[in-house]
Amino acid sequence: MSTKKSQIALSLISHTNIGKTTLARTLLRKDVGLVADRAHVTLENQKYTVLETEAGESLQLWDTPGFPNCQKILSRVQGAKNPILRILTDVWDRFRDRPSWCAQQAVLNVQQEADVVLYLVNATEEPTMAGYIASELQLLEWIGKPVIVLLNQTGPPKDRDEQQRLEQPWKDYFVPYGFVKGVHSLDAFSRCWVQEGILFEAIQSHLLPDDRQLMIRLFSAWQRANLALFHSAMEQWALVVARAASTRVMTKGDGSPMEVQKQQAVDILLRELVNEVGATTKAVVALHGLEGDAVGVIQARMEHVEVQRGSQGMGEATLSGTAIGGIGGALTSGAYAGLHLDAATGGVSMGLFTVAGAVVGGVLGFLGGEAWAERKTTHTQAPVTWSDDYLDVLAQDVIIRYLAIAHFGRGQGQYVADPEDPRFWVEKVKDSVSRHRPRLHQQWTGLRQQEPTSKLEENAKPLTALLTSITLELLWNTYPASKPFLDRV
């Protein structure tokens, strides 16, 4: 009586020192094995559970020793059927050439255990120039399992054309090898979780029918878990933006110069926003199985912000920021220019002053000359809130933060990266947010009108849906093969 299979096993193999264990850490989202910049760090086969269904079915990943000398390994494993020869070579290699012996054990393990082999290569090399690949392919052919090639060290995300130029030489190279079923980019340092989904979905088609049904169930479990994580992250970021949009701080109305009162209010708004962005960054980092945060980077920006009174004709006030440029710099250098200052009578906003909005660094006109002159000092309190333009920049920032975290592999260590680092995303996110600006501004208006005691989580739902839609659109455009399973979001 046959036992129903409950596991799919993937074996991760490569030439030595290509990055198998680093990639295993990224796929598993936890630190496993040893990582060092030298050959033969992994000397034993290690089995890990990637995911598991409620029924106890699981996807297993074997991390194996790297190949040092494939011709020798191939001759050894091919002679394994001769028991006397096998015993002699096994004893000799175990004590005199341990890396080769470990690799032999890995090959035999792959042949016995693997349903699909994941063969990792260094994408910075030319396939025709990496002399070890040809002999390793002989070994893979001998193993006799379907092989999917993974391109490691591909660098940051790329546009489709650039990604195609990177992958095509490798795809062309493997055409003669029928056992190679596909080539996928999966960088241990900068992969996105949707690329893992693309890989797992591709694996299904290379399995036997019964195994394929098992992999479909496993992929469904992966999909549910990762989409839940995605939605949780977007909800948390939307709450940050919604709270900023709905928060108002009253000027003191103590007769001091209006400029001083505004700056005091802005300091309160900015301090609250910086703390919340930092706390949410840390929470979303942890949600993705990482450690670290970027709050120190955010706070450091504030130390470089200078607010200066200037004159540009008609008594117009100007503000200048010395914070670094880029999307993150706008959160501080643009903060004092990203406000909406209203005079209020009986709690009804009169909308007397509106700033031009946040920009990336530089000098901004703040208030019109006559209005400024009339309001140099006041004993009347007025609410200060973030402007629509500044909230647009904040929406861009949180999306970029999400994408930076979602592409952060465990090979990089702790997450301390500045959200400006993924330059690839800045203009794309900016353009996408711009296309949705009318809908976003409707959200800003609605959130400002909410009573402070109203439930923010409920009020933020439309904004969550909008930020989710923008982010999905960016992921679809970058990873088109992910659209089938992301369409179910």
In this prediction, residue 226 has a pLDDT band, given cuts at 50, 70 and 90, of very high
What is the distance between the alpha carbons of residues 372 and 379, in angstroms, rounded to a whole number?
15
Residue range(s) of every CATH 3.40.50.300 domain in the chain? 7-191
Q: Work out the percent of the chain whose per-residue pLDDT is above 90.
A: 29
Say whether pLDDT at 437 is over 90. yes
- Summarize pLDDT for 185-221 with one digit per residue, the tens: 998 888 899 999 999 999 998 998 889 999 999 999 9
Q: Which carries the bigger pLDDT value, residue 303 or residue 82?
A: 82
Burial class of 408 by CB neighbour count within 10 A (0 to 12, 13 to 18, 19+):
buried
pLDDT on residue 97: 57
Residue 54 token pair = 């409620």
Give the position of tokens 């079923």. Answer: 181
Average pLDDT over residues 385-404: 87
What is the distance between the alpha carbons of residues 30 and 206, in angstroms, rounded to a whole number?
27
- Summarize pLDDT for 124-174 with one digit per residue, the tens: 888 888 778 888 888 888 888 999 999 988 888 888 889 999 999 999 999
Measured CA to CA in angstroms, residue 465 lies from 204, 281, 437, 443, 461 at distances of 31, 19, 14, 11, 6
Average pLDDT over residues 441-463: 88
DSSP β-bridge partners for residue 319: 364
pLDDT on residue 241: 95
Q: Which of 458, 452, 58 is nearest to 249 (CA)?
A: 452
Say whether pLDDT at 360 is over 60. no
Q: Work out the percent of the chain whose per-residue pLDDT is above 70.
A: 68
pLDDT on residue 74: 58
pLDDT on residue 155: 81
Q: Which carries the bigger pLDDT value, residue 487 or residue 193?
A: 193
What is the distance between the alpha carbons of residues 4 and 33, in angstroms, rounded to a whole number?
31
Say whether pLDDT at 479 is over 70. yes
- Please give the CATH number for the structural domain made up of 7-191: 3.40.50.300
Say whether pLDDT at 330 is over 50. no
- Summarize pLDDT for 258-297 with one digit per residue, the tens: 777 777 777 788 788 888 888 898 899 889 888 776 655 5
Q: Which carries the bigger pLDDT value, residue 219 or residue 419?
A: 219
Say whether pLDDT at 322 is over 60. no
Say whether pLDDT at 410 is over 60. yes
Q: Which carries the bigger pLDDT value, residue 422 or residue 179?
A: 179
- Summarize pLDDT for 17-74 with one digit per residue, the tens: 777 888 888 888 877 644 433 343 444 678 889 989 889 999 999 888 777 666 556 5
pLDDT on residue 271: 80
pLDDT on residue 34: 42
Q: Which carries the bigger pLDDT value, residue 19 or residue 462?
A: 462
What is the distance between the alpha carbons of residues 101 and 253, in angstroms, rounded to a whole number?
80
DSSP β-bridge partners for residue 52: 58
pLDDT on residue 327: 38
In this prediction, residue 417 has a pLDDT band, given cuts at 50, 70 and 90, of low
What average pLDDT does the chain have?
74
DSSP β-bridge partners for residue 148: 118, 182
